Amino acid sequence: MKKCFVAILFFTSIIFSQNNKFVEVAGKDFIEPSGKKILLRGINLGNWLNPEGYMFKFNNVNSFRLIDNTIKELIGADEARKFWKTFRDNYITKEDIQFIKSTGLNHIRVPFNFKLFLVEDHPEIWLDEGFKRLDDVIKWCREENLYVILDLHAAPGGQTGDNIDAVSYTHLTLPTSDLV
C-alpha cells in the first residue's frame, strides 16, 4: 500500500475496480476494465479522513491542523487522539458503504490528508493509520462492487492555504499580477 501512496502523491486521484484494474478514459468516456462504458454515479466521503471546518459548521477553524489544535486545547493531546480514533472508527463504516451501494451509486470518492500516512516534519516516518483506513474502505467497496476514487485532498506542502490545507501556519499569497 505504501507504493500506492507514493504514486498518489504524483497522481492525486485514481479509480480502480474490485479486481484492481483501473478505469480508463477514452475521449469523454470512462471505460471499465471489461471495455464497457460506465457512467459514474457516486458520492464523496468528505470530512472522514480530511476534516474540514465548514463541515463541522466552524466559523474560524477551517483546516485539519486548526481543528486538531483547537480540540487539543479543549481536551488535551491524549483525549484528542482518542477523539480522532473514535471519530474515524464511526464516521464511515462498512454499513455506510453497503447503504451507498443500496442507493444505486457505483463509486465513492475518498479525500484524505497526508498526515494520516507520514509525520509532517519527518517524512521518513510512515504511519499505519491512513493505510489501514484506505485498506478498509477499499475492501468494503470491493465487497459491494463499488469503484473507489482516492483523492489526496491535503498534500504535503499544502496547496491553498485554506480549508483543505493542514500544513503551514502561513500561506504565501502572491498578488494576481504576479501570477501572469
Contact between residue 88 and residue 128 where contact means Cβ atoms under 8 Å apart: no
| Best CA proximity match to 170, nearest among 158, 180, 179 | 158
Task: Look at the alpha carbons of 98, 99, 105, 109 in this order and tell me if their dihedral is positive or negative.
Answer: negative
Residue 143 is predicted with a pLDDT of 95
Strand pairing class (42-44; 107-113)? parallel
Q: What is the pLDDT of residue 7?
A: 41
| Number of folded domains that form the chain | 1
In the predicted model, residues of the chain with pLDDT beneath 70 are: 1-20, 159-180
Report CA torsion sign: 154, 160, 162, 166.
positive
- Its domain, for residue 17, covers 2-179
1 contacts 135 by C-beta, under 8 angstroms: yes
Please tell me the predicted confidence (pLDDT) of residue 141.
95
pTM: 0.79
**CATH (domain of 81):** 3.20.20.80
Distance (Å, rounded) from C-alpha 107 to C-alpha 150? 11
